[in-house]
Structure 1
């Protein structure tokens, strides 16, 4: 962002409702300033009834690009010309890129999470087994991108089992990965050895049959656990998903997508069990990095953006 906004300044924005709490303006404007780009990033509070008009305005105002946040990530698809494969499968868009008069929807949430895994954690998803807690929009984006990038097995645990089964079915039908749904909080029950992979009869509904007992066998095969629900987020810092923390150890990587507070109760309990724990700030950073590069064509100053997030 230049010191003075001029007639040539390109505008990027964020569509959401509300948007006052967003960290994205601080992160992107710090990057624009660092590179001396004549861009500015502005948060636009867009009520749901005005979403179509706001998307039309991207063309009318010649905006350089737009991020999309709750509650618009799914409904915005109706107004776009094209989707990337990942955004289509995820059923959600968080970044819009004007391209030759067309508006292209991307999902840099999922792609940003992958970048966070490889660049910050040093975890290559290829051939890994992942346990995802929750089956909402964030879980779907992560599951899709992990499955498209080599994860071998996905276990999705959710209170509403049908939602987890739908996500498992999507993964099984569209990617090389194998996915199963598990009930939650009963996700801690032991899985019989002959049920991984489970019988063809059970495979039809993508639900993993559980038997009473311990949890060690199931979680011993998992490399990465991702907590995607809002439990533990400010102001509910004293809440925590029901999880068998005693089954975690040094071989597990645990990511809680909540980043406010920076260390949730879920992370604290996982760390006590010996797991390596991370919050969701890295995903927030890298989804922004990827959006920045799509809009500007420039390599993003990752550390500048990271410092802006931490300061904010």
Structure 2
């Protein structure tokens, strides 16, 4: 980084929509805290304009950027290089501009594991995990848990075939089964960690839940990657059952911190990032 503010010190996030993103607030504070002369902005990019946006990013020398819906998959063929984890997942959420070469990474799965670690009472290697959903977030989390060496990772989904396909496509083979939602509900007491990765329960449909937790054991950890509302109906039910709960702010902040590290070589203050997010989401607490 140079001391004078130049366009090479610009970072950002591209998506559609992107105006609601909290990334500028947390990343700009991280730059200030680390005394880095840089700025981070939200760039609204329509699907039809993605290729032109990437060309512009290269031409202007934007140093790095995050990627959010709906561009995480579509961006891949427009990049110069893809890190192996991101390639396997089939989605990119972080890009580094190294001398005009755009390199794609995926920090979602690693961010999830980092947010989960403080809540663990046993090793992930000895844990039985259930992932609800089989979309992009489930894929990133499943692939990362498999690579980490988690003991058993089952997937349940409305469409079981989609869960089976996700398991088959993982480059690291793990002990796994694909289940229907109904079967997962029946077997819920077998799991130490339950990970909710779907959009069910997100604002404004805050009362919706992906499945019942009637059969869950009180020693389980229940996580939901949704952070609006912070405490979903799913997490409320888990808390009522005596479970430890983890909302989606942890994964969001940790994936952002890992992106910052890719750009700067420095790992930011995660607590400071988390405090900013919680303050911004304060009005949505239930």
TM > 0.5 = yes
Gaps of 5+ in 1: 189-214
CA contact (8 A) 1:83 1:104 kept: yes
Residue 311 and residue 239 in structure 1: after superposition, are their counterparts in 2 closer, same or farther (change >3 A)?
same
Larger deviation, residues 142-151 vs 152-161: 152-161
Which secondary structure state, in structure 2, belongs to the residue aligned with residue 247 of structure 1? Answer: coil
Which string of whole-angstrom CA distances, capped at 9 and with x for unpartnered residues, describes residues 128-157 of structure 1? 221011101000010000100011211111
CA contact (8 A) 1:248 1:274 kept: no
Q: CA deviation at 1:121?
A: 5.1
Which secondary structure state, in structure 2, belongs to the residue aligned with residue 54 of structure 1? Answer: helix
Look up the match of 2:283: none
| CA distance, structure 1, for counterparts of residue 263 and residue 127 of structure 2 | 32
Look up the match of 1:180: 177
CA contact (8 A) 1:9 1:38 kept: no
Look up the match of 2:284: none
Which structure has the bigger radius of gyration?
Answer: 1
Look up the match of 1:24: 23
| CA distance, structure 2, for counterparts of residue 20 and residue 170 of structure 1 | 34
1:232 to 196, 201, 204: 201
| CA RMSD after TM alignment | 2.1
Look up the match of 1:136: 135
Residue 247 and residue 179 in structure 1: after superposition, are their counterparts in 2 closer, same or farther (change >3 A)?
same
CA contact (8 A) 1:256 1:278 kept: yes
| CA distance, structure 2, for counterparts of residue 25 and residue 99 of structure 1 | 21
Q: Structure 2-normalised TM-score?
A: 0.92
Look up the match of 1:196: none
Q: Structure 1-normalised TM-score?
A: 0.84
1:22-171 equivalence runs, <5 A: 22-119=21-118, 124-171=123-170
| CA distance, structure 2, for counterparts of residue 236 and residue 102 of structure 1 | 41
Q: Aligned residue pairs: how many?
A: 280
| CA distance, structure 1, for counterparts of residue 6 and residue 88 of structure 2 | 39
Gaps of 5+ in 2: 281-286
| CA distance, structure 1, for counterparts of residue 248 and residue 105 of structure 2 | 19
Residue 165 and residue 132 in structure 1: after superposition, are their counterparts in 2 closer, same or farther (change >3 A)?
same
